[in-house]
Amino acid sequence: MANTKVQVTMEKGGSFIIELMPEFAPKTAENFEKLVRDGFYDGLTFHRVIDGFMAQGGDPLGSGMGGSDENIPGEFAANGFIQNTLSHQRGVISMARSANPNSASSQFFICYDDASFLDGQYAAFGKVIEGMEVVDSFLAVKRVGPEGGTPTEDIRIQSMTIV
């Protein structure tokens, strides 16, 4: 059976496609797909965008402090889940979390470059397979804040759909 693909359509135009890879993180991919099917991500923003590192979204509060109603177990080596060998490279999507390894819920990030220092610490679960230039375009938005990562205008997801 082919892996699920998710089309992310941006409010200001452009879209990209993520292929979910449950063979690396089954519960993580399942949770993301459920949230997509429920329309959870529609209208949310990428609230953190850092050159050479990643774009982070999926927070209903838009601040980095929110999430969905349930947390999922961290499917990565440091949490005893050794089958997740998907490396954090350009285009890979992974779950954001707090210091608690089982705190991921809805926030995710997409890597811009090699971020393999995150391998084994975060649950990578898919990859952008089409339209990475749209994710790259987020870097053109002016950003401020402590890491220079807070966009001054919304980078808003219009919709996410299973394709």
Q: Structure pTM? A: 0.98
SS3 category, 19: strand
Q: What's the pLDDT at 1?
A: 74
> The CATH number of the domain where 125 resides is what?
2.40.100.10
What is the rounded CA–CA span in Å between residue 127 and residue 116? 14
Give me the number of domains the chain comprises.
1
Q: Measure the CA angle with vertex 9, ends 132 and 21; round to 5°.
A: 60
Which residue range forms the structural domain that includes residue 72? Answer: 5-162
Provide the residue type at 80 as one letter: G
The first and second tokens of residue 119, run together, are 């391998």
Distances (CA, A) of 51 to 33, 55, 56, 115: 27, 9, 12, 12
11, 158 contact by CB (below 8 A):
yes
The first and second tokens of residue 118, run together, are 């995150």
What is the rounded CA–CA span in Å between residue 146 and residue 86? 29
Instruction: Name residues whose C-beta falls within 8 Å of residue 77's C-beta, 6 or more positions apart in sequence.
Output: 84, 119, 120, 121
Reported as a single tens digit per residue, the pLDDT across 11-63 is: 999 999 999 999 999 999 999 999 999 999 999 999 999 999 999 999 999 99
- Residues present in the chain in total: 163
Q: What's the pLDDT at 147?
A: 87
Strands 92-95 and 124-130: antiparallel
Reported as a single tens digit per residue, the pLDDT across 60-82 is: 999 999 999 999 999 999 999 99
Of 57, 74, 67, 109, nearest to 88 by C-alpha is 109
Q: What's the pLDDT at 146?
A: 83
